[in-house]
Structure 1
Amino acid sequence: MGPEATCPWRCPLPRLQVWTWIEPVVASTQVATSLYDAGLLLVVKASFGAETSSNHSASPSPRGALEDQQQRAISNFYINYNLVMGLTPLLSAYGLGWLSDRYHRKIAICVSLLGFLLSRLGLLLKVLLDWPVEVLYGAAALTGLCGGFSAFWSGVMSLGSLGSSEGHRSVRLILIDLILGLAGFCGSMASGHLFKQMVGGSRQGLVLAACSVSCAACALLYSLLVLRVPESMSKPSKALPAVDTVSGTVGTYRTLDPDEPDKQSVVEHPPSPGKAKPPKTIIALLFVGAILYDLAVIGTVDVIPLFVLREPLSWNQVQVGYGMAAGYTIFITSFLGVLVFSRCFRDTTMIMIGMVSFGSGALLLAFVKETYMFYIARAIMLFALIPITTIRSAMSKLIKGSSYGKVFVVLQLSLTLTGVVTSTVYNNIYQLTMEKFVGTCFALSSFFSFLAIIPIGIVAYKQASWLQYGDMTEK
């Protein structure tokens, strides 16, 4: 399989290589997810809005008090929902990753897509049959028990890594993220309009939920019947045959910047087997950086839906969809950023650029008073997707291809567990501070984003030391 297979828009491909593209699965799944996320927020808001109004029908309360009560109800719902969604994958995601490595790469993807389909059906039935909001907790549990996003995305990253060379892996993985972002943008733009559609006088949200179910079903069928696993494009190093015999310590760390020409000093003076050590510290630092940064991102993403529904913004359904779509534009700008930055910067430098971009945008978001300020803050976050994707790419170059499933799922589970804790803490902080300073959570996220630069900076320092001295000893 030639390098052309890494980009689905290049035409001169053998016919069978088309079936190895993971992009159609990612696109269909993300359209379904973006519709579901918007529908979930609007359905929950409508349910709690009706409940709050009925509770105060006898003794009217000020509009602000009703709005605050509704905000707390929505926030509490998402605390419980995110706990269920985040903790249940711990029971199954690692096992699915292990099965994918051992038996078939598609296992994690197909099983998790089944869970996605069941959860979308749960929202559809809730709207159609007017079930209580609590039924959505059961839908979230089914998604998690099937592996959830942790298993799905680790499977996607595994297939993407197998189908690309080390030199082009960062671009390959960010390309997959670009497809995800474009699909999410389209789904979010349409979500507000679909939610308002009425079918024979039935409830709002029915058309949106049905479209989400259809897209999830298409993704599952494609992955089962069409998708094929690509052959590995990773090639052992010929210049340094000692790499594979000493835990991959010579060349693997260099592959954090795989496109850089070989340094003469490295070729002439490879470290002896006695001094070489596995890059465990490097992997640990990448994990720490990813977790700190994900903490900042999840905290912001979880609070934004609540933030835009109340004063000073008070968005309607269509504006909510547009706001969610604005969040997906970072997939496009981050992709373009990687294409440009990868030609002149190391992976670690690109990671830090993304962290600064997000931290600066989150800080501005804390002081947003008007809608145009919200979109300016989102624009500053234009490279926010680069860090996590590039960290995954860097890790894939430090481990063997046969371990991709397990390592990626461990990383994703770590991020998921971080997200569960973060969601709970941030939602409680939001409830405590929304009357005093509603931007507290965004300011906190900005702090954690800049804090995540420290472990990545240490990785960059170790990388520079290795390239200068050819010494891989851990400090």
Structure 2
Amino acid sequence: MGPEAACSGWGLLSRLRVRTWIEPVVASTQVASSLYEAGLLLVVKASFGAGASSNHSASPSPRGALEDQQQRAISNFYIVYNLVVGLTPLLSAYGLGWLSDRYHRKISICVALLGFLLSRLGLLLKVLLDWPVEVLYGAAALNGLCGGFSAFWSGVMALGSLGSSEGRRSVRLILIDLTLGLAGFCGSMASGHLFKQMTGHSGQGLVLTACSVSCATFALFYSLLVLKVPESMAGPGKALPAVDMVSGTVGTYRALDPDQLDKQSVVGHPLSPGKAQPPRTIIALLFLGAIIYDLAVVGTVDVMPLFMLREPLSWNQVQVGYGMAAGYTIFITSFLGVLVFSRCFQDTTMIMIGMVSFGSGALLLAFVKETYMFYIARAVMLFALIPVTTIRSAMSKLIKGSSYGKVFVILQLSLALTGVVTSTVYNKIYQLTMEKFIGTCFALSSFLSFLAIIPIGCGTQPDLSSDCPALRPFPGPYFYGSLC
């Protein structure tokens, strides 16, 4: 009877651990989001295309002029839409993060998923009832008032950090990103085909939006009824010190991993406090690097759908879905990159590798003329996801677990706020330069990506105590640190 009781207890424990996995929520939410993003672009394009054709039925214009007019209309729509999406979470996301830290970790996730569901329903009703596209602004506002992606992703990162040890946290968080990427890839690949399932202006996109609503509904009910909050894996002896109490060694290059603190005291290589960066300075520089890098990424992501629809690519619905799916492959390659690089490099080195990868790919994207060139540029961005995810991991090692929700939501809101400004500026730049040099925005993103390396390098100092050459950071931080 003893072995049977032990087996039943083990089975119950395994089921409880499965219920702490956040991946099913992330996967279903991202499938819904990828279907929604593709559907939003194609529905808005169809709406403005119909309007343009009716306005010019009596006096036909050249195809290029109609295309430019449609591009400007879509771009102006996204300027307002992104402003609503980016600014409305500022009213609620921090409060949801505070409530999650104080009462229950699932609050920010569940409330944000309710907003996701309402926004997807808004697109479904627009397609079903042929409402004007301005209705989507209201749906986006409801999404933002429920916390939006800022509240959702900060809650996901908090649960992922709680359920992982410090030494494996970078891998744990990038695994969550991998789940998001695989789900987004599948959703984007199917989006173009689902959009074409029903023909006619009123029914086009109905199947796509209905699938998006179904996935969002599943994510909400799973998070409410199935998901459990994991217990913290940091033992009593591994409790993180408060930010104000951390010794000067936290400012070393290896200080992004608190496990190195004990190792340094054992081998007898303490660094002088005068040469160490204060922890608040490190966190501020990590914030700055993440924001600059996010400016580059958001600008590229916002302009890329318009770039796909216009010459020289001029893609159809299926090709647009494939192009969006190509962007999600970086989740797979970034995950593999973290698995390999985390064995040889510290967090800061991995961050800079990702920034160089994205900056190089964005520069190639600026000169794309053919379809194959687009996919080559996307392939060069294979490690583009590493920086922000690793920055979150590094920050989680410098703060207490009870502050994860607030700190992560502050970071996410900072990224969202700068993303709003970036979206507006990039869309205006795109409108002004699309006839002269359509790759101007991508070239600017490349510059910003390389610029983001500087604060990351300035915030660290080399630790030469390691006897293993593979574990010593490569020369990047030394050079940028000398500039500061």
| TM-score relative to the length of structure 2 | 0.89
d(CA) in 1 for partners of 2:200 and 2:218?
26
Q: Which runs of 5+ in 2 are unaligned?
A: 1-10, 468-483
Spell out, residue by residue over 1:231-285, the C-alpha distance to the aligned partner (whole angstroms, 9 max, x if none). Answer: 01123557xx995696133675555235669545566476899999850000000
d(CA) in 2 for partners of 1:202 and 1:255?
58
Q: Which runs of 5+ in 1 are unaligned?
A: 1-10, 469-474
| 1:321-360 mapped onto 2 (5 Å cutoff) | 321-360=321-360
Structure 1 letter corresponding to 2:246: G
d(CA) in 2 for partners of 1:79 and 1:463?
43
SS of 2:47's equivalent in the other structure is helix
Partner of 1:175: 175
Shift of residue 200, structure 1, vs aligned partner: 9.8
Contact 1:295 1:418 in 2 (8 A): yes
C-alpha change, 1:412 and 1:266, in structure 2 (3 Å) is farther
Contact 2:240 2:397 in 1 (8 A): no
Contact 1:20 1:228 in 2 (8 A): yes
Shift of residue 465, structure 1, vs aligned partner: 8.0
Shift of residue 14, structure 1, vs aligned partner: 2.2
Spell out, residue by residue over 1:425-451, the C-alpha distance to the aligned partner (whole angstroms, 9 max, x if none). Answer: 000000000000000000000000000
Partner of 1:77: 77
d(CA) in 1 for partners of 2:244 and 2:83?
42
C-alpha change, 1:376 and 1:60, in structure 2 (3 Å) is same
C-alpha change, 1:28 and 1:252, in structure 2 (3 Å) is farther
SS of 1:14's equivalent in the other structure is helix
d(CA) in 2 for partners of 1:368 and 1:316?
17
d(CA) in 1 for partners of 2:276 and 2:368?
51
d(CA) in 2 for partners of 1:439 and 1:275?
43
Structure 1 letter corresponding to 2:422: T
d(CA) in 1 for partners of 2:255 and 2:273?
19
Q: Structure 1 residue 86 and structure 2 residue 86: aligned?
A: yes
Shift of residue 198, structure 1, vs aligned partner: 1.3
Partner of 1:362: 362
Shift of residue 458, structure 1, vs aligned partner: 1.2
Partner of 1:472: none
Partner of 1:418: 418
Partner of 2:385: 385
Q: How many equivalent residue pairs? A: 456
| 1:83-232 mapped onto 2 (5 Å cutoff) | 83-198=83-198, 203-232=203-232
d(CA) in 2 for partners of 1:467 and 1:147?
44
C-alpha change, 1:291 and 1:324, in structure 2 (3 Å) is same
Contact 1:263 1:467 in 2 (8 A): no
Partner of 2:463: 464
Partner of 2:245: 247
Contact 1:237 1:251 in 2 (8 A): no
Shift of residue 16, structure 1, vs aligned partner: 1.0
Structure 1 letter corresponding to 2:136: L
Contact 2:358 2:449 in 1 (8 A): yes
Shift of residue 299, structure 1, vs aligned partner: 0.3
C-alpha change, 1:426 and 1:242, in structure 2 (3 Å) is closer
Partner of 2:372: 372
d(CA) in 1 for partners of 2:241 and 2:405?
22
Contact 2:330 2:381 in 1 (8 A): yes
Contact 2:192 2:318 in 1 (8 A): yes
SS of 1:320's equivalent in the other structure is helix
Partner of 2:38: 38
Partner of 2:320: 320
Structure 2 letter corresponding to 1:249: S
C-alpha change, 1:266 and 1:436, in structure 2 (3 Å) is farther
d(CA) in 2 for partners of 1:434 and 1:145?
34
Spell out, residue by residue over 1:365-406, the C-alpha distance to the aligned partner (whole angstroms, 9 max, x if none). Answer: 000000000000000000000000000000000000000000
C-alpha change, 1:302 and 1:343, in structure 2 (3 Å) is same
Partner of 2:474: none
C-alpha change, 1:266 and 1:280, in structure 2 (3 Å) is farther
Structure 1 letter corresponding to 2:144: G
SS of 1:464's equivalent in the other structure is coil
Contact 1:249 1:276 in 2 (8 A): no
Identity in percent? 84
SS of 2:463's equivalent in the other structure is helix
Partner of 2:406: 406
SS of 2:315's equivalent in the other structure is coil
Contact 2:185 2:326 in 1 (8 A): yes
C-alpha change, 1:424 and 1:274, in structure 2 (3 Å) is closer
Spell out, residue by residue over 1:332-365, the C-alpha distance to the aligned partner (whole angstroms, 9 max, x if none). Answer: 0000000000000010000000000000000000
Moved more, 197-206 or 101-110: 197-206
